[in-house]
Amino acid sequence: MAQAAPTTGGVPRAGRLPDIFSERTHKIARVAVPVVLGLIYGYWAAGNTRYGGPITGWNVLFGFVTAIVFMAVCMGLMALAPRLRREVHAILWAAFTGIAFGFLYSLSGGGHPILGSAGLALAVAAGVFVVLFYRYYTHEDAEGHKIR
């Protein structure tokens, strides 16, 4: 009986997927992703503050300021967090996600109490922390180096 000879191409090694994008694409994405997410977040925040009413100049300004702050914090975390231990890395992203969610929820109207917004933000942050800690824990060795 004949068997097919093993080949080196086409199958990812050690469970890793091949990197199909160039280094230039990754550099562009490091800027483009926070910008796009920030614009979406700012638009959402501005939409929450007008409560279905007309669009005003202050509303647009609020959306752009919110977007710029979101982008700056996101870019800062993308630069700083990978250098930290996996626990702190997961805590920073969880805190960022929880704060962003809680802020949008508090703007959504409906007379939500501030403790309700804070409670939901903590619940979202806890869920994000568990998921990210698991991911970082399974993709790093004991010293915090990525497993390649």
Cα→Cα distances 60→101, 104, 105, 107, Å: 20, 16, 19, 15
What is the C-alpha separation between 126 and 11, in angstroms, rounded? 36
Interval 41-94: pLDDT, tens: 999 999 988 887 888 899 999 999 999 999 999 999 999 988 888 888 899 999
Question: If you write DSSP's letter for every residue of 46-70 in order, what string do you get?
Answer: HHHHHTTS---HHHHHHHHHHHHHH
Query: What does DSSP assign to residue 146?
Result: B
Whether residue 8 is predicted with pLDDT greater than 60 in this model: the reply is no
Whether residue 134 is predicted with pLDDT greater than 70 in this model: the reply is yes
Map out the domains of the chain as residue ranges: 24-83, 85-148
Worst-scoring range by mean pLDDT, 9-13, 24-28, 80-84, 137-141?
9-13
Whether residue 129 is predicted with pLDDT greater than 60 in this model: the reply is yes
What is the C-alpha separation between 20 and 29, in angstroms, rounded? 14
Is the model more confident about 138 or about 147?
138
Whether residue 18 is predicted with pLDDT greater than 80 in this model: the reply is no
Residues 147, 139: contact at Cβ < 8 Å? yes
Residue 110 banded pLDDT, cuts 50, 70, 90: confident
Whether residue 143 is predicted with pLDDT greater than 70 in this model: the reply is no
Interval 55-66: pLDDT, tens: 889 999 999 999
Token pair for 40:
């979406």
What is the C-alpha separation between 126 and 98, in angstroms, rounded? 8
pLDDT computed for residue 111 by the predictor: 77
